[in-house]
Amino acid sequence: MLTYGLTHIALAVADLDRSSAFYKHVFGVIEVYRGADSVQLQTPGSRDVLVFERKPGLAGKAGGIVHFGFRLRNPEDIHEAARLIQEAGGTLSSRGEFVPGVPYLYAFDPDGYEIEIWFEPPTPVDPPISGEKLAVQ
Report pLDDT digits (tens) over 1-31. 666 777 889 999 999 999 999 999 999 999 9
Distance CA 14, CA 60 (A): 9
Decide if 69 contacts 93 (C-beta within 8 A). no
Residue 132 has pLDDT above 50, yes or no: yes
DSSP letter assigned to residue 93:
E
Cα of first residue to Cα of last residue in the chain, in angstroms, is 26
Assign 25 to helix, strand or coil: helix
CATH class in words for 1-57 = alpha beta
Count the Cβ atoms, other than its own, within 10 Å of residue 117.
Answer: 23
CATH 3.10.180.10 domain locations along the chain: 1-57, 66-137
Residue 68 has pLDDT above 60, yes or no: yes
Domain covering 66-137 assigned CATH 3.10.180.10 in the classification = yes
Decide if 72 contacts 117 (C-beta within 8 A). yes
Residue 137 has pLDDT above 50, yes or no: no
Model-level pTM greater than 0.85? no
What mean pLDDT is reported for the chain? 88
Residue 101 has pLDDT above 80, yes or no: yes
